[in-house]
Structure formats: structure tokens, C-alpha cells
Amino acid sequence: MEKRTITRVKRQEHESERTAYIPAFGYGFLAPLYDFVMQWAMRESTFKPRLMEQARIKKGHRVLDIGCGTATLTILVKKTHPEAEVVGLDGDPKILDIARSKVTKADLDIVLDYGMVFKLPYPDNSFDRVMSSMVFHHLTRENKALTLKEVFRVLKPGGELHIADFGKPQNTLMHLISLFIGHLEETSDNVKGLLPEILRNVGFEQVEEIARFMTMFGTVALYKAQKPRVTVKAEADAE
């Protein structure tokens, strides 16, 4: 089978969506440094393989990596599970250019889409797994909820969401570091440990914190959540 890299550009029309987006590290000109910082300061080579393992991806699964960045996790998933269909989505064109180059170099069959995580350009019930690495701390509480509702919508019944992001500090050192990032409105919910509550409020079940990792910028936590196999709407339609 011929390998291909596809980049689909889906431009968002509304000004509110453009202004809501925060580029890597808050500034677009820092995009070329993203991989270096993630590797050496955020321990991505440790927590991303663990995140992928907990997702239990199977042959034939459709996997979506939202806020895929430079596609490090996207590529890892495809290399480990070549018989899964893997899609990456990000709202930063500069980051997607880097991702496209990495995917092409790796000679992998991956689709890369431009789009916002809180307005996913996919049909209902279309993915078995959704992955997210270091995305939610960029979002306001409102956009966290909107994004999770969109993830809930595109997941198949019984499908799973797997998140790596800043979480509640597990010791004094991590608490001291979190004082720096926790003052940011977007990050404070994560540091307070509120992400599981937001997940449950959207309708996810079996919400768990799987692991925690210490990094130079604070605690990174791994979360798992499942869309119910029978949703409230499905139950209503059956009556």
C-alpha cells in the first residue's frame, strides 16, 4: 500500500475562533523550539508512550490526535499501530508545517487537518480513540467544555479519550513549580485537578487519572475517559 501524507486545510471563518487560539508556548515565533522543549523539559519521550499504551489501540481503530502539534504523538501511534487509521488536527499552520515535514520524512500514511479543537470538522461517532497531549491547559474553561463536547460527539459509543496535560501537583516541589503556571487562567483548572470533573459534566464515564509525571514545568497527569456505550439520546430514541 502506497504511503501518503494528506494535509486538509479547513479555515475557520469566525473571528472569535481565531482569537481564541493560543499558539505553542503562547507565541507563534517559538514554534521551531517546540520539539526541543517538549523533549528536554516536559519528558514527552516518557509520558507519550505511556499515554499511547493506556489507549489500547487495536487493528482497524480510527484514532484522532487533537492539537497534534508537530505530530510526535501522531507519528508514534501510527508507527506502533500501522493498521490503525490515524488523523492529526491542529489550529497552528506553522506547527502543521513542521508536522507535515516529520510525517513525510517518516514515510507514514497520516492525515493532517487544520481546525480548532472546539469545533471538530468530523461526523458524529467517527473515531474509536481520541488522544490529546498538552492541549487543554491552553483552553479557557468554556473552551475546555466545548472541546470535550466535540470529542464526545465524534467518539463512537464505547470510544475512549486519553489526555496528557498539567494536573494537580503530587508533592511540594511540583506545588512550588505550579505556582508559576497556575496563575494563568487557562492552566488553573488543570492545576486544581478539575479536569476529571469537567469530563464527567460533559457525559464521560469511567474517568480516571492513570499516572503522574514530574517535569520542569509541573506535574503532567494522564487521564482516561469513556463515552457510554449507550448514550442518553440512544436510550430515548429506543423508547
pLDDT exceeds 80 at position 203: yes
Residue 3: in which H helix or E strand, if any? Answer: none
pLDDT at position 50 is 95
Q: How many domains does the chain have?
A: 1
For the question of whether the overall pTM of this predicted structure is more than 0.85, the answer is: no
Q: How far apart are CA 221 and CA 165, in angstroms?
A: 6
Alpha-helical (H) ranges within the chain are 15-20, 34-40, 44-55, 72-80, 93-106, 141-154, 172-181, 185-191, 195-202, 232-238
The dihedral built from the CA positions of residue 126, 90, 228 and 145, taken in this order, carries a sign that is negative
Domain containing 167: what range? Answer: 5-238
User: Mean pLDDT, to the nearest integer, of 180-206?
Assistant: 81
30: confidence class by pLDDT, cuts 50, 70, 90: very low
Domain containing 30 — which CATH number?
3.40.50.150
Distances from the Cα of 112 to the Cα of 9, 38, 119, 151, 194, angstroms: 8, 20, 16, 17, 30
The answer to whether 222 touches 208, Cβ cutoff 8 Å, is no
User: Mean pLDDT, to the nearest integer, of 105-117?
Assistant: 97
pLDDT exceeds 50 at position 25: no
